[in-house]
Structure 1
């Protein structure tokens, strides 16, 4: 990997910032583009309102032959920072953060996140939840209220030459107090200036301030009017789109053709400003730089021979490069920094290619048992390289060596399981070696390979020989009993039963062991099959495990013999269900309108929603029962609709979780049903009174005298009289003085008696009462004398 070094030469002024350094490099037929947007609605200062948006959008446009590789998002603003935002609705948290305090004491922040998984190609992208509102007002006081975001996109194009993309970032600035900033990109091998370019992300540039605000690259003034004039390089523009309304944010890219030259090894960038405060957040370069990058890895060591020779197997790589690594690239080997051997590559190694090799080193007398073996590629033996590389600091590999392990080339003793085959491996791959195996000291004549398959306990020895090199090692192999896992049982809890979701997993110990002796085995419980297989991360304590993902979570049980080598597993589920019933409210004031002693109710329509209390009716069942015991046992379910024949009557509601094993998870509640009978009314006789002369057809009636006749002397009936039938039904406009009621129609009138149940004014019946006014007989006036004769005289 090529490493571009960055040097900053700053004026000796008061400041707190983060130096711009190399962050990442990319090599291949690659290029970059960028898109983004400001959160400012207009350029700050000059009386602009002190407001800022919390979201904005911008488009990414890739051509059909350009393949997306990666995306790198930056955002910034005043204050201590908002490091959690959203990209097209998906959360984005900062991977890296930056801070800057200017000479005026104002604090600013920057952030970076790799958003490669969130970019799907060309399209419109929206950044939201970037909330700087709390920090804007203090920043408005010195006209540095800004905010925005950008995304650098690396893409592949097969028509491009081999390029190196270098991404630098930090948070540094130029201003009237710190008028210059110099950045030197070194260790670059420029093959050609074709398609070379550089991009900048800068903040707080003002279009209206053009006081010696310059950008020079390799001493060349960048003058690109009208977007970027030479005296106002950072002025709220986007040269990717040609926009001049990227307020207080600059997203610019410049061609380096004619500025960098073939053979250049560094690029110098100078920024100046005699007034405008400008922060640089990142810069990115693309140059055609066709050079290799050699790295090396020590793969393994061979056996340590009696003559102190040892084989070292290694691999040389040429990755993150833009050219092949030439043949005969030197390789040096050191023990604790003392040169002990040299080699070289055999063939040209292509880009992203590798080459493996082996060297025999003779360990000098006095070599300690533990030492560092260092391999360095592109090293002639004194630390000098002969190949120009993209990264001159990644050529070495250090392997800590313990000679005891080299002597014991068969490794440690092996524990295995009865019925399995163990392959003992010398680790020697050099075909020049010969091998002879022994079992418990007895030669195995036909076993002459570098590996040996064994199936029985014993001590196995191998003698390896190559010329004068001889080494011997022994190993003990043990075959342990293979446990078996009997079926476990699923465990269930329900909160309605007082359970809290803590499971005693050891309930399954006797189930998984079956007839196996518990003293000979260990049982553990794990969250994944992989952990059960490896025995890693056993659940502790297994007697009180809180379910992590209710309602159902798999648990993996492992039974192993005491060495932990042989095991078997089984899976079961723990289930924690929830259910509630109610709270329920009573049903009161019902009316038995026909006074037959029963009321028909649709309990499902009246009470199911209340019983479920927000629980999904598809997941829970509701039933009604006459007693608590019936509700608990789910027996004697009441029909629906249900005839209530007793008042008051207690009804018990049962709500059951359908996902639970039947009958195991139900909650019980109850409510009271109370009804009243509407008074039974008897059709009354006509209420007749005698008119008084002059027989005008109107008379006075004492209506309550008909109460007992109408109600049959029902003590629970209260009678009220009305002139109008509808008024009687609605209980409005009663006759004001029923004891002295005078009919309002001549001679005959029908009025209405309403009898309410004394306990419920809504439970009543209405009956008609006819009123009749009879005329008084006429009297002759004058009345003639009535004369009789007394015949006795």
Structure 2
């Protein structure tokens, strides 16, 4: 899923130094975006200094770093590091987050002898990782005042997200930096030494508002004569009167506590916090959103001797700093006294966006959630796609794409059922099992109730349909694509569904496991010529072939082997858990060595014998215009399988209907290829199996059809009103049943018990083998009337709140009334809309 950028601001890591004012301030590296994303979540920044007089906390806030003999802090007890410090990462809702970006920044006022790009990095679990960063800026021997600063960056997202636990203590070591006390230098150096690191975290949390997050890096030297503006654009904040909230993070070097007149300005307003004065923003401290001391770091100095890092809430009273509907902003760094280096900045601001919560669960026919449970072959499944908009903007052009599992049976459109109002099918592709729905904007506005799409399916009932790897796992997932109305630039593409709507990040699919599969995978293979290829099922991790069921000797380890002799061959297919390993057996015989049976016979409604030659002829009877028979031959050894239909006007018909037309003068038209064929129309058919070496076999069958096409309309049980099932599209002369035993002449049934019903239709007065038409899976639910209430409180004095009511599980028309005690406040109805 790729999201566009709507806020081009980011976290700010600033190098401050007390450099000589004789140095020339300038913009060495222009600022460019490093990360930008719109998401529901927020940012965090942790870090620590890595130079000081000792490993102990330093708490004298009157001291300048150039008056201190700065030495490596090394707290980890690890011989592989010459310096190291730590800080803890905390996220406020630890059960409902996902880290999507982790950027590690480090730098020093003056580098040491070690490579500046190489550091060590470890998280709450596991050991150190050797990280090689990219250089943002390096002085390369060119002094800026008395300093030779550098800054580096590394994307450590993959390291952080692969940790067993990624909340807790992070440690960084081997940051290259000079050491010493510079006020004793000749000539005098009032800058001092300072070094440190910062870990910038972006995380998702669906319980938080939508935010636009962008980070930049570059490198600028700033003093009283040169200030830097960073313009940002492309976002849209929330509309009036909602407060615009933003978080700002930063880190800095050489921000001595006693030196003032360094400022950070947003949209012309000087920023400050309880622990960061407006006129001494960079004051050698580590801060957090709450403005309380950050003690979960080692060492936890109150004076970090020239290093600042933290995250703050942007003060925005009355939206005077960042306004409603703003699309641009300017960050400004300036100073009247200090000189400092800026190399990283970022910002996270609330934005307006729709948020479609898409769920996909699986139920049994009684409505019980069976996600994650074990199921069996042939078991019915009901997939429920739920969606609603929990954002602060209406959704536009919502498309839901659902890919059904390969190991289920789904008959389109019969298994789709009745779609809710506002939902239409755009397309269904049988080859990929992908069904696409279009959703009307009217049902995905802010605060609309959850809408559900119900899809009926059935697990395959044959072991031979489960040979490929992971066929024992039945996964289903849907994807949503949509944009905003007020914010049309906000576009979501293929956002995956979740297996429930709890508001937290969870496994995004409906999953079941097939168990107790006692399947035997045996194939008959014809040897026609000198050799034949045997191919095992797809997708397994490894294969082991043998001529013995014990697996010894091993005669091959590839998916396909070539054999030249008849006999029985065995292959063990190994899968990675939780997928299931299987054994396959291939019985190789000479062509003509066995009697070949017509593979259509198992699917025939009757099999007749031709009196002329004694050949068997299968007949298939289709009951209804939409009826069909799926013929699955399970033939895998043929090089090609061709299905043909007779052009009955092209040759003389047979005189006996129990015999196939094998006249060589007849014309046969190809209607299919492959081992499976759907018989859905009347005619005379031929199946040809071709083998390696030129051998072939031909089989014939006939299909007859009654084109009756019954339809069913149903209504659920609502409160005390019974449901109903009504059959349509059937002429006179038919009778109806719900159990296949007791029939009635009326085409309407009154339903008082919720269940999944099958309707049976048959002709009256046909006692022997009548064509029984069925309409399966008519689901009647017992719907209990409920009301959803969404209350919006007034934000300011004199404003008005609102109450949104939604009637659930009842049919229109609707009447709504709101009372204050016994006094009617407002009413509306009758209306068609449910909210």
TM-score by length of 1: 0.39
TM-score by length of 2: 0.37
The structure with more helix, counted as a fraction of residues: 1
- The higher radius of gyration belongs to 1
